[in-house]
Amino acid sequence: MKRRTLAGIGAGVFLLPLAACGDGDDSGGDGGGDGLLVGFAQVGAESAWRTANSDSVKAAADADERIAELKFVDAQQEQEKQIDAIRTFITQKVDVIVLAPVVETGWTEVLEEAEQAGIPVILADRGIEEADEDLYVTRLGSDFVAEGHSAGAWAATTFAADTDFRILELQGTTGSAPANDRKAGFFDELDTQGVAYTIVDSQTGNFTKEEGKAVMETFISTYGLEDIDLLYAHNDEMGLGAIQAIEEAGKAPGTDIQIIIVDGSKAGFQAGVDGKVNYIVECNPAFGEQLMDVIVQVADGESVEKFTPVEEGVFDASQFEAELPNRQF
C-alpha cells in the first residue's frame, strides 16, 4: 500500500529535510514526492456526526496517494488534549496540522508554536475566535450561523400566530463555535422577523445524548411541558436524549412539544419519521475528500479561501421519509 514502511518510527527522521524546505514561503512540504504527513486533532467521539466525520477524513486520507500518513488524535472533547496533540505533531515535524477546535478561545499560544515551527494549520469543522484568525490558513466546515438562521426561519413561520411563543434550548458544548453560532443565528432570525418569544431556559447538553436527556429531565421537572412550544436542540444526540426524557414523563415529543434538531443523522431522521422531531437542519460531516484537497493546496503554498462552507440542506416533516434512506450516518 502507499503507506511508507516504517511510518511512525522513521517518519520524523525521514521528513526532516522536507520540513526544513517547508519553512520557506512556498512551504512545499511535499517536495520529496513521498506524500504528506498530516496530524489531525479531532474533537472526540461525542456524536454520530463526529464519528461520520472521523470516518470520512480517515477514509479520504487512506485513499489519497498524496497523503503518506494521517496521525489521528481523539481528544475526548478536552482542549488540553488537543493542545498536547498539536505539540506532539510539531515534534513529529508533520507537514500540515488539522485542528477541529473543541472551543473557540485559548489557542493563541499553541498556534504560535506551530507558526514558529513553519507548520501550516487548517481548521476542520469548528472555528476559533477572530483575534486568532492569522494563526490558521483556512477553515473547511459548516456555516453554523446559517444553520441557526435556518432553524429560526422555520420557527418564525411555524409559530407566527403564537402570541406567547415559549422556547427551551439545548446548547452544544459551552464555548464551541457551533453552540455560539447556532444560538446567535437562531435568535437573530426570530428578532429580525419580529417574533415575540420567551427563552424559558437554555442550558448546555455538551452535544451528547446522556447530557441532553439529563438537562431535559431538569427542564421538565422545573417548568413542566404544558407551556412550552419548542425545543431547539443544537444537535441530534441532545434532541434524541430529550425525546427519551419527554417520553418517560408521559408526553409526546413532536406533538406536546415541537422539536428542532441539527445534524440529520439516520437516528435523527428516524425520529422525524416517527413524528417525534419536527424540523431538521442538516450539518454535513462528509468533507474528508475536500479536506485532502485543501491540505495539499496549503502544503503546496497555493492561496486558498479563508473559509470554505460545506453544502447542506433543511428538511421538514413532509420530507423525512423520502430522505431517510439517503442518510449516510
Specify the stretch interacting with ligand GYE by CB under 6 A; choose among 43-51, 116-124, 163-171, 213-221: 43-51
Of these, 178, 185, 212, 268, which contacts ligand GYE (CB under 6 A)? Answer: 178
Distance CA 32, CA 10 (A): 15
46 is a contact residue toward ligand GYE (CB under 6 A): yes
- Whichever of 46 and 169 has its CB closer to ligand GYE, that residue is 46
Specify the stretch interacting with ligand GYE by CB under 6 A; choose among 42-50, 55-63, 79-87, 286-294: 42-50
283 is a contact residue toward ligand GYE (CB under 6 A): yes
> How many residues make contact with ligand GYE (CB under 6 A)?
13
Smallest gap, in angstroms, from Cβ of residue 175 to ligand GYE? 12
Residue 16's contacts (CB-CB under 8 Å, 6 or more residues apart) are 93
- Whichever of 56 and 235 has its CB closer to ligand GYE, that residue is 235
CA distances from 170 to 14, 140, 208, 232, 269 (A): 48, 25, 10, 6, 18
327 is a contact residue toward ligand GYE (CB under 6 A): no
Q: Within positions 92 to 151, which residues make up the interface with ligand GYE, using CB under 6 A?
A: 125-126, 142
How do beta strands 258-263 and 279-282 pair? parallel
Residue type, 204: T
Of these, 39, 50, 140, 268, which contacts ligand GYE (CB under 6 A)? Answer: 50
Specify the stretch interacting with ligand GYE by CB under 6 A; choose among 22-30, 41-49, 116-124, 214-222: 41-49
Smallest gap, in angstroms, from Cβ of residue 262 to ligand GYE? 6
Of these, 27, 42, 47, 278, which contacts ligand GYE (CB under 6 A)? Answer: 47
CA distances from 127 to 30, 48, 103, 229, 283 (A): 26, 20, 8, 31, 15
Distance CA 322, CA 319 (A): 6
- Whichever of 215 and 296 has its CB closer to ligand GYE, that residue is 215
282 is a contact residue toward ligand GYE (CB under 6 A): no
211 is a contact residue toward ligand GYE (CB under 6 A): no
263 is a contact residue toward ligand GYE (CB under 6 A): yes
- Whichever of 22 and 212 has its CB closer to ligand GYE, that residue is 212
Residue 230's contacts (CB-CB under 8 Å, 6 or more residues apart) are 155, 158, 159, 165, 166, 167, 168, 257, 258, 259, 260
Q: Do the beta carbons of residue 242 and residue 231 sit within 8 Å?
A: yes
Would you give the distance in Å from CA 204 to the centre of its chain?
16
79 is a contact residue toward ligand GYE (CB under 6 A): no
Residue 131's contacts (CB-CB under 8 Å, 6 or more residues apart) are 108
- Whichever of 69 and 125 has its CB closer to ligand GYE, that residue is 125
Looking at 234-296, which runs of residues are DSSP E strands?
Answer: 258-263, 279-282
DSSP class per residue in 10-27: THHHHHHHHHHHTTSTT-
Of these, 207, 219, 232, 287, which contacts ligand GYE (CB under 6 A)? Answer: 207
284 is a contact residue toward ligand GYE (CB under 6 A): no
Distance CA 194, CA 192 (A): 5
Smallest gap, in angstroms, from Cβ of residue 271 to ligand GYE? 14
Q: What is the DSSP letter of 226?
A: T
The closest alpha carbon to 120, from 299, 262, 252, belongs to 299
- Which residues of the chain form contacts with ligand GYE (CB under 6 A)? 46-47, 49-50, 125-126, 142, 178, 207, 235, 262-263, 283
